[in-house]
Chains A and B, each alone.
Chain A
Amino acid sequence: MADRLLFTKTGRARYISHLDLMRTFQRAFARAKIPIKHTEGFNPHPFVSIALPLSVGYSSQCELLEFGLLEGTSYEEVPERLTAAMPEGIIIHRCYPEERKLKELRYVNYIMTFDYPEGRPQETEPAMSALLSRDSLVVKKKSNKAKAGFTEVDIIQLVHSWRIECQSDTMMVDLVVSAQNPGLNPELLRAAFCSEYPEYTPDFVTFHRRDVLDREGKPFR
């Protein structure tokens, strides 16, 4: 049976890509002298797999990594030892045996923060509400597989729930979206908002993954 890590990825580590992060974990296990299972075959290497690749630049407090802990290390000592071997911004919170399959992971909760440093126009909130209240919102998504170079995605179909909270210079969208098969990258919502309401284009948008959830909306671990 596989084991799991729960970790956060924030600060400077946000810019480490998915593949680079896997390599970083492989090395960090070696640095921390925590033996883990290797792949078999011609060129064996430490096996690690990170669920739901996070876009470069996003922060997250609920990343899951699958691996196999070998004998000699207890689950309790892994977080501290491994965190010490990590680059700045990666903190391991828990290490535990896997109890449920990744396919039971249904939703992801993102916090999108729209920054308006010069002051947020009042109309941004009703505009975002209107956009998310539509029956359908079909956007084009880049795809390397599709012949045309893009596929069409209906954002509304993939949004499970949402909530907006505004301050004088920010609009925060608390968004629960489908996690996989297919999942929704909240960047598509940002792009749709900016193309529907170019006059409300924010200075900058940050994306934070707050939690991963199961069917019942409970944290998936």
Chain B
Amino acid sequence: MNRTLEHILPNVQKPARYTGGEYNAVVKEKNQVSVRYALCFPDTYEIGMSNLGCRILYGVMNERPDVWCERCFAPWGDMEEAMRREGLLLYGLESGDPIAEFDIIGFSLGYEMAYTNVLNMLDLAGLPLRSGERTSLAPLVVAGGTCCYNPEPLAPFVDLFVLGEGEEVTLEYIDLYRQAQEEGWTKEEFLEDAAKIPGIYVPSFYEPIYRADGTLESVDIKPGRGAPGQVTKRIIQDMDKAYFPVKTIIPSTEIVHDRVMLELFRGCIRGCRFCQAGYAYRPVRSRGPELLARYGKEACEDSGYQEMTLSSLSSTDYPDLLPLCDELLDYCAPRDIGLSLPSLRADTFSMSLMERLQRVRRGGLTFAPEAGTQRLRDAINKNLREEDLLQSVRTAFAGGWNGVKLYFMLGLPTETDEDVLGIADLARKVYFTWREYSPNKARGVRITVSTSWFVPKPHTAFQWEAQITAEEYQRRVDLLRDALKRDKSITYNWHDPQTSYLEAVLSRGDRRLADVLEWVWEHGGRLDSWTEYFDYQRWLDGLAACGLDGDFYAHRERGRDEVFPWSRLSTGVSADFLWRERELCYQSQTTPDCRARCSGCGANKLLTGGGRCG
């Protein structure tokens, strides 16, 4: 181990985050590989190691003998300070070598508040922030993840973005990189060829043209580079043939999701109109139950984990859920391995399943009705009926649970005060259900209502919507708080509005926001998803310093013909379909789920076999 690192580690919190050497960490001989890849997660080790996507890509790359993929995370503040003081550059956990010496640096972008960490990590690596200032081919800076469906605020810092699922395209651009390396291409030459790989967006080949009012006139393609007019996301065609990380790194220190994660399927049949994941991960593609059962068992055997969780956007929609659970339970129960099922819908089927799975009654259950009235739930296409929710909590309370958390959003399109007050009514009905059905009222009940401030996201039916203002959000919070203040058994929490505002600014932001990111980072911004470090005023100052108005991005309603910063990027779901969904919202009309009837969103065209979703 590096001597400087050895001297630093005794003085920082949780040093095991910075050492590598975990079980199943891949160590190769660096002279035996052609491409060294630093897979960077722009948040702490505990968060990044919990990311299934990173584990998949780590495995996919390291299966290749010519590639060595290492991991890199954002250091906590004390570690960063020590690294800067001692002149220790950001390093890959496996080798301890500075990532600046690697061939490719790849960031996983899952949420906007991690953007400043990307800049900070590039700086800690000793690299210039802007793509244009890194003139040589290596290290190439790439990024993937959900945020790449509108990566414009990061465009000047990243050489290329990858849209969609990375298992295949990562190896494709690595192959191209190898060729470039062997034949001595310039970075420019490499990027021109990379832009021709489906799913790869090279931002420097596109130029946004702004009107005087700040909206986009167009996103022009720079001539002569051969960059495509539209970049469409990549998907894995057959989940049964996709890599699954049976053998994966087991951290020696506690992380957030410290368990086997069994990915049932990708995509979601539900079509909730606010949900970016629901649109962006289409079409639905499932793994077979036999294969999943095998993976689950093998992953438990290899990891020694005592807990397994089934993961997907809506696990109840997995067609073979019952037989799969039965088979997994047969394996897990005698070995004291806990099996958990998040992302359940609040219906009766799910509840009976929960009862079977949970040998130990845990304290609370969580449901996300999202809206307080049936009218608004229909408008956002959250196909959950009040009867179903109440039936579910009835089963739960009768079965001994004594706590329920209910999640809602405030500021959804078409929301009225009646809808806001409907949240209080629904919470009260849940309370009365407890009074009626709890076998043990002496223990009391905890009903928690949480509201967040709705953030309209790109590539959703609500991408044209204005986020309601902070004042209006606060008024609705106060309205609801007032309505609930007499109910002693109901606790009301509301999400801090500051990060929701910045998410609204960044998620639909354009390339001009890059200056704001750089300003905020220069003035100390990093680890912005942590309250210990987040400073709202710094962001407001940054917007002001760059002459940009955050409200323009967050609170402005866009017209149908708006040119979006992400207009060159496609999830496979057509804008016409999204607009139709938006109109149905205003009529409080629902759209059936994808299994009941295909609504023609366009995503099935991504399936090469002329296939059907499922």
Interface set of A (CB-CB < 8 Å, partner B) = 11-13, 15-17, 20-21, 23-24, 26-31, 33, 38, 42-45, 56-57, 85-89, 203-204
Residue contact B253 to A16, C-beta cutoff 8 Å: yes
Residue contact B19 to A12, C-beta cutoff 8 Å: yes
What total count of A-B pairs have CB within 8 Å?
Answer: 78
B128 within 8 A of A: no
Q: How far is the CA of A31 from the CA of B6 in the complex (A)?
A: 29
Contact status of A88 and B21, CB under 8 A, knowing A20-B252, A24-B252, A45-B336: yes
Q: How far is the CA of A85 from the CA of B252 in the complex (A)?
A: 12
Cβ contacts B271-303/A at 8 Å (1 or 0 each) = 000000000000000000000000000001111
Q: Least Cβ distance of B8 to chain A in Å?
A: 10
B-chain residues with CB within 8 Å of residue A89 when the two chains form the complex: 21
Residue contact A11 to B21, C-beta cutoff 8 Å: yes
B-chain residues with CB within 8 Å of residue A15 when the two chains form the complex: 9, 15-16, 18-19
Contact status of A57 and B252, CB under 8 A, knowing A15-B15, A28-B304: no
B-chain residues with CB within 8 Å of residue A30 when the two chains form the complex: 300-301, 304-306
B20 within 8 A of A: yes
Q: Least Cβ distance of A94 to chain B in Å?
A: 21
A-chain residues with CB within 8 Å of residue B253 when the two chains form the complex: 16-17, 20
Give B1-39 interface residues, CB cut-off 8 Å to A.
Answer: 1, 6-7, 9-10, 14-16, 18-23, 25
Interface set of B (CB-CB < 8 Å, partner A) = 1, 6-7, 9-10, 14-16, 18-23, 25, 250, 252-254, 300-306, 336, 360
Q: Least Cβ distance of A105 to chain B in Å?
A: 25
Residue contact B19 to A31, C-beta cutoff 8 Å: no
Residue contact A31 to B301, C-beta cutoff 8 Å: yes
Residue contact B23 to A28, C-beta cutoff 8 Å: yes
Residue contact B10 to A12, C-beta cutoff 8 Å: no
Contact status of A13 and B15, CB under 8 A, knowing A29-B304, A31-B304, A57-B9: no
Smallest CB gap from A29: residue in B = B304
Apart from the given pairs A13-B252, A27-B306, A30-B304, 15 other A-B contacts in the complex at a CB distance below 8 Å: A12-B20, A13-B21, A17-B16, A24-B23, A28-B304, A31-B250, A31-B304, A43-B360, A45-B336, A56-B15, A87-B21, A87-B23, A87-B25, A88-B20, A88-B21
Q: Which of A13, A45, A88 has a CB less than 8 Å from the CB of B306?
A: A45
Residue contact A27 to B21, C-beta cutoff 8 Å: no
Contact status of A87 and B22, CB under 8 A, knowing A12-B1, A16-B253, A31-B301: yes
Q: Least Cβ distance of B426 to chain A in Å?
A: 33
Residue contact A87 to B10, C-beta cutoff 8 Å: no
Smallest CB gap from B20: residue in A = A12
Q: Least Cβ distance of B525 to chain A in Å?
A: 29
Q: Least Cβ distance of A57 to chain B in Å?
A: 4
B-chain residues with CB within 8 Å of residue A17 when the two chains form the complex: 14, 16, 253
B-chain residues with CB within 8 Å of residue A42 when the two chains form the complex: 360
Q: How far is the CA of A209 from the CA of B587 in the complex (A)?
A: 73
Q: How far is the CA of A28 from the CA of B252 in the complex (A)?
A: 11
Q: Least Cβ distance of B171 to chain A in Å?
A: 28
A-chain residues with CB within 8 Å of residue B14 when the two chains form the complex: 17
Q: How far is the CA of A203 from the CA of B9 in the complex (A)?
A: 14
Q: Least Cβ distance of A153 to chain B in Å?
A: 21
Q: Which of A20, A21, A33, A86 has a CB less than 8 Å from the CB of B23?
A: A86
Residue contact B23 to A31, C-beta cutoff 8 Å: yes
Q: How far is the CA of A102 from the CA of B302 in the complex (A)?
A: 33
A-chain residues with CB within 8 Å of residue B303 when the two chains form the complex: 27, 31
Residue contact A57 to B304, C-beta cutoff 8 Å: no
Smallest CB gap from A23: residue in B = B254
Q: How far is the CA of A31 from the CA of B260 in the complex (A)?
A: 13
Q: How far is the CA of A38 from the CA of B306 in the complex (A)?
A: 12
Residue contact A38 to B336, C-beta cutoff 8 Å: yes
A-chain residues with CB within 8 Å of residue B304 when the two chains form the complex: 26-31, 85
Q: How far is the CA of A110 from the CA of B253 in the complex (A)?
A: 25
Residue contact A57 to B15, C-beta cutoff 8 Å: yes
Q: How far is the CA of A13 from the CA of B306 in the complex (A)?
A: 22
Contact status of A44 and B336, CB under 8 A, knowing A27-B303, A57-B15: yes
Q: Least Cβ distance of A206 to chain B in Å?
A: 8
Q: How far is the CA of A13 from the CA of B360 in the complex (A)?
A: 34
A-chain residues with CB within 8 Å of residue B1 when the two chains form the complex: 11-12
Smallest CB gap from B22: residue in A = A87
Smallest CB gap from A206: residue in B = B6
Q: How far is the CA of A203 from the CA of B25 in the complex (A)?
A: 32
B-chain residues with CB within 8 Å of residue A33 when the two chains form the complex: 301
Smallest CB gap from B337: residue in A = A30
